[in-house]
Chain A
Amino acid sequence: GVSQNPRHKITKRGQNVTFRCDPISEHNRLYWYRQTLGQGPEFLIYFQGTGAADDSGLPNDRFFAVRPEGSVSTLKIQRTERGDSAVYLCASSLLRQGAGGTDTQYFGPGTRLTVL
């Protein structure tokens, strides 16, 4: 399945954090979401291969994600703020051409970030 680490991260305001996502190996798409209590996952960015196909959900330029070799991805948050506290979820999917071209996302367990 999709793995993420660390599973938990506690940091002080102003520090930088980095999260890693290992997708299912044959999947060509990778998504990042964040989820706060009582809300559904909120889209941040998705990758098709190595490139960011849509980063419109990144809230500001403190958030940055890469997927340099088309598999593992890292999400970095610089100068963390208390409002960044959330669960950061990674999902991967295999877009099958034809059959409507829909892709089913499989989620990792998430990284729970707490900013003090």
Chain B
Amino acid sequence: RKEVEQDPGPFNVPEGATVAFNCTYSNSASQSFFWYRQDCRKEPKLLMSVYSSGNEDGRFTAQLNRASQYISLLIRDSKLSDSATYLCVVNVPGTYKYIFGTGTRLKVLA
């Protein structure tokens, strides 16, 4: 099993739709989780950290499910500008080393 796994997509959704991505991780002792956004040929940019209790930032909601070892990202009311690759990031327990998933590609269609 890969350390961090994501469905590569692409997820093609119409504007205004709600879309959710999951990311599974293999090490149950991982403590730090993030979602990054990466536009084509650009660097990754932090979208949000993922907290144990779940957290929301505008149209974006992140959740952590420790029992099933996955994190999720929910995007409501999708905009064309949300089209990007979403990278899941998980720390290696006991270190500040981070493993990135391969990313999930989202295309929001007009």
Contacts and interface: CB of A to CB of B under 8 A. Distances in A.
- How many of chain B's residues touch chain A, expressed as a range? 20 to 34
Nearest to B52: A100
Given A104-B49, A109-B42, A110-B43, A43 B31 contact: no
A29 interface: yes
Contacts of B101: 40
Nearest to A33: B100
Contact of A43 (B8, B32, B97): B97
B97 A89 contact: no
Nearest to B48: A104
Main secondary structure, interface of B, reads loop
A29 B97 CA distance: 11
B99 interface: yes
Contacts of A46: 96-97
Contacts of B4: 40
Interface of B: 4, 8, 31-32, 34, 42-46, 49, 87, 91, 95-103
Contacts of A78: none
Given A40-B102, A100-B31, A54 B43 contact: no
Contacts of B97: 43, 46, 54, 56-57
Contact of A40 (B45, B46, B95, B100): B100
A61 to B, nearest CB: 20
Contacts of A15: none
A95 interface: yes
B96 A95 contact: yes
Contact of A107 (B45, B95, B96): B45
